[in-house]
A and B are shown apart, each in its own frame.
Chain A
Amino acid sequence: MTIVEKPRTDAAPVEAEELSVVGKPLPKVDAEPKVTGRLRYADDLRLPRMLVGKLLRSTRPHALIRRLDVSRALALPGVHAVLTGKDLPITYGILPVSQDEHALALEKVRYVGEPVAAVAAIDEETAERAAGLIEIEYEDLPAAMSIPEALVPDTPRIHGEGDGPNVDRVAALEFGDAEAGFLEADHVREDVFFFSGNAHMALEEHSCLASWDAGKLTLWSSTQVPHYLHRTLAKVLELPASRIRVVAVPVGGGFGGKSDPFSHELVAAKLAMATNRPVKFTLTREESFYAHRGRHPVLMEVKSGFTADGRITALSFRNMLDGGAFGSFGAATTYYTGALQGTTYRLPAYRFEAVRLHTNKPPCGPKRGHGTPQPRFALECHLDKVAEELGLDPVELRLRNAIEPFSQTVNHLRITSCGLVECIEQVVEASGFHEKHGRLPYGRGVGFAVSAYLSGAGLPIYFNDMSQSEVQIKVDRGGGVTVYSMAADIGQGSTSVLAYIVAEVLGIVPEDISVVTADTDLTPIDLGSYSSRVTFMAGNAALDAARKMRDLVLEAAAEKLEVDVAQLATAGRRVFDRDDPERGLEWEQAAHVASALRAPLVTAGSYRAPQLAGPYKGSGVGPSPAYSFTAAVVELDCDPETGMVAVDQVWVAHDVGRAINPLLVVGQTEGSVYMALGEALMEEVTFRDGLPQATSLFDYKSPTVLEMPEVHTYLVESIDPEGPFGAKEAGQGPLLPVIPAVANAVYDAVGVRIDEVPITPDKVLRALDLAEKGKLGRVGPKGMPAFDFPAPYRVEPPGESLP
């Protein structure tokens, strides 16, 4: 394994005791508006003369639109405008390679729930009535509702002309010689797994408000990506970007589900322009399930080769993704199902093949962990099976293959700080895993797994050579500090993190700071709240801007105090002489002096990730300036009579680099564990006869407080050399190991393998029944449908001499 030289950093590591804001369990800067109900989310906004918008949605999974007549809707008193697909004919999509969506369906519909027409009326009731008056005739086409159905050659294509199969994307890569690795192995094993699709289910339904005023469009929206929404509006509405202002209002839960530009956003804007009145759309809960972009269902075939003493010789993955009707982030998701396997294990050789298929279902996209929870589930369950066959402890198997700090993965990803082993040791010891595994009474079990995740995608969504995040800071004459950033706070606390970082550098407190966020008119670029990028990237931009501001203030203070600037420090809301702390200025005085001597008191900082992509197509997915690492142990009861699984305790250790605020990091970890348990045990998007079966919160089961176990969280601080104060991500990584740890614990409890999530009681009972009949106690996919993957593109692993 190549050891990468430790990257240089412009600041020596900061010792925790020197910090006064960073690392402290402070309340969030927006905590009080949240607990008083004063925070205004998108649906809380209203404007004078505002109209209400409603979408008419397809009732057919796959059909040609033969007739669409909106005249009765238009004639209804109180209706101001009706739009159909031909009013917004320009295609769009979040990725440049997937410009395949229309704001309203044109000519054909591709899933139940796809927007077909839109109404703006004086109130919701009138808008709904008008939508019901739109006449539409369909000519049904055969629908593809699953991976095998999408692969049928003589089914009509969902996109394009002619017959299927409905292939969206194909990836095939090989790093080193996988076959040679399997040949030299003492032990080769293959498994097939399935991960069902599930939904973000943010408690806030999508909502936006559009206003058209003097040739300028303003859109307030519940979005994670104001910048990409801004670009999409400009494209679809054919307006210069300078005539559009997007404001991402505080988001009531995102989890990746508000990272695409959506039909209702484009339609609200167009209706506001058409009527010259503000127009608001708020989706119902049912519609939020149609907007979807949830977890891709993925069918996976895993093969590994091991030496007798438990060292990997080769690994391969073959994945089939059920993408739903449109591209969304799917091209990236496809590569993400293969990109991070090597971030936890040293792989001498690795082959990855994947195909994403179109089906007649709401489009899948990025959900917490984006394309990596599915293969992580498969890999970690597979490794437990290998360990058992080799007679090795499952923890020991991971430790023998664990990736090392400052190394490179087989697919050319640069690993910097890495606390994987510390995470493993922490949860194994705290949970008493070795005292429990294989030793608990029948019906009770423990399971273990590990994972890694990005601290921000290394590359932007569209190719460019600009910065990925910029922050401006202004200090007023009274010492008040305003920080400007386009980062959208979706509940993860990004606004607070920016305030903490700036406060730390300037030696003031977060209460001295106002943070203006996520407004394309007011704030400099940040690409958005996705891929766990904001603490790392916006945080580094804030650090850069804050250091420049500190320098301005210190230079002015040095002049005033007649001391050398190197003598000065900032802390406790003062600027003072290190050797003579009595000699100094209060922060307000320092700001006043600096306003006179160094005006204007405005600085800007920026961040762009180092260029880390490997030498192959598809290498843009996976690189990140740093990776977080997680290990988890789950202890549960599995009732062999009912098949019910009740998780009792979860131990999770997360290498966050440095916790900018440990309270928020623990909160992200607990929330990740919760979301993982929902996916592992109950959450599932299902269809019957082309119709979605779960479009309410009764039918879409998610854990309540009664299902939540006790969670023991341990933060490992590996102090990343490039993270702001050493910080890495916390919002997504901790979800990853929990799902396979549940499956491994079910096996430990009752001796059956459920190779498919969610692990519902019926599957457990079926597996127990099979075992009782002397068959293999396993429920899961039996194999992969036939598909001709192209020959993989061969890439040599990084050589010993690579930097």
Chain B
Amino acid sequence: MSAAGDRPIIEAGPEGGFALGPLDGLLNLARKHSLWYLLFGTACCAIELMQTGGPRADADRFGFLFRPTPRQADVLILAGTITYRMASRIRRLHEQMAEPRYVIAMGSCANTGGLFQGSYSVVKGGDLIVPVDVYIPGCPPRPEALLEGLMLLQQKVEREPYLRKIRGELPLPADPWPAGKECKE
């Protein structure tokens, strides 16, 4: 029995094509080419995110479409500095996304707090609030770097044992901020 994450064989001929592989592989193939990200950004990285969605470094050719609501989004890209006041909002947005959901920390501020290490009002990294899958370094990362990060996420999605995930046999990622559940404001 082939392991989950074996890449499907894809044949494209002049009259069409087919893909052959384990069910996990086929489902992940479909999923990884259709990861929709939430339109979210707080600071300069959001500008680069917009450019990545623009015509030159087109993220849409990979299937990354932006959605304004978390209900229809698969990926939350933390683009920009996160302040303590914003933390509860990010937490709420993440909770409102339906599973399977992923988080990408884009830029120094979302990775570790960035250049605002000494600031009292900046959260030192998005992974103190929500579980992060991919970290993209840069200040801000160029659109090419963001695309590389998105491709890494695609690889991660590709390797997932998706059928086990549907059945609920995979453990949830560790919650970095359990007190975030009670945030009322």
Partners in one complex: no
A interface residues, Cβ below 8 angstroms from B: none
